[in-house]
Amino acid sequence: MRVVIAGELPLIQDVSQLCVNAGHDTNVFLVEDFLGAIESGYVLDEIGAVDVALELHNESAAAKQELILALDNALSPDCLLLTSALATSATQAAAWTRYPERVVGFGLLPPVAPTGMVELASALQSSESALARAKAFWAGLQYESVVVADGPGLVRARLVCCIINEAVSALMEGVAAPEDIDRAMRLGTNYPFGPLEWADMIGLDTVLGVMTGLFEEWGDDRYRPAPWLRRMVIAGMSGKKVGRGFYRYDETGNRL
């Protein structure tokens, strides 16, 4: 199977490894690289021949729309288009395309294990066959599918990012230091990671994208992004992938 993946780190690396492990012929692009390649025209024939495309951008709705439009124009009509439905619903993503029936939303959060669970969400426009193909694709990657209702964040990202957002508010209010907030949640609730540590792994820009999507969808103050989260993203401190978030990291990704 031929697969193309376009989006942002770290998910594109993690998902591409799953595809390679499954034996798929996989091409991977950062958003800006993919848009540049499409504009130049040198990958149009190659992209047009793929079977499954995965869009993995959660930071900016405008950039996500541009990426999906580029994918939709380059892909053949029968190519399955899987969109990361964290900051934007699958229904919204499908509405940007010429062939909305082939769009299915999915949800993953770092760290991505070799086997695990993926959330799938049909857009209002998705066909039953597209959902069936999405399930089969993820099963081939050794991932069990759980079908959930469409909407920004789906289940896992919605809950995890809300906890992260509250932890950022606690940090901003001086409740505790980052290490103590994380230690309290790991040891006190058996969380696999502290919320601020997890935010660095996911990417603070992605967390902000999820919270912004939830706030725009529901208009509820519980989803309003914490001001300190927004400021850190503006300052370029988006987490482990850039070496600076709530913690600092060396070039190999180890915490300093």
Write out pLDDT tens, residues 127-152: 999 999 999 999 999 999 999 999 99
pLDDT in tens, 78-134: 999 999 999 999 999 999 999 999 999 999 999 899 999 999 999 999 999 999 999
Average pLDDT over residues 31-38: 86
For CATH 1.10.1040.50, the residue range(s) in the chain are 156-242
Q: Which CATH number fits domain 156-242: 3.40.50.2300, 2.60.40.1730, 3.40.30.10, 1.10.1040.50?
A: 1.10.1040.50
Identify the DSSP state of 88.
Answer: S
Q: Helix axis angle, 156-172 relative to 178-189, nearest 10°?
A: 130
- Answer yes or no: is pLDDT of 50 > 70: yes
- pTM (2 d.p.): 0.93
Q: Does domain 2-147 have CATH number 3.40.50.720?
A: yes
Percent above pLDDT 90 for the chain: 88
Q: Is residue 208 within 8 Å of residue 59, measured between CB atoms?
A: yes
φ/ψ bin of 86: left (φ > 0), alpha (ψ from -120 to 50), beta (otherwise): alpha
For CATH 3.40.50.720, the residue range(s) in the chain are 2-147
φ, ψ of residue 29 to 5 degrees: the values are -135, 140
pLDDT in tens, 148-183: 999 999 999 999 999 999 999 999 999 999 999 999
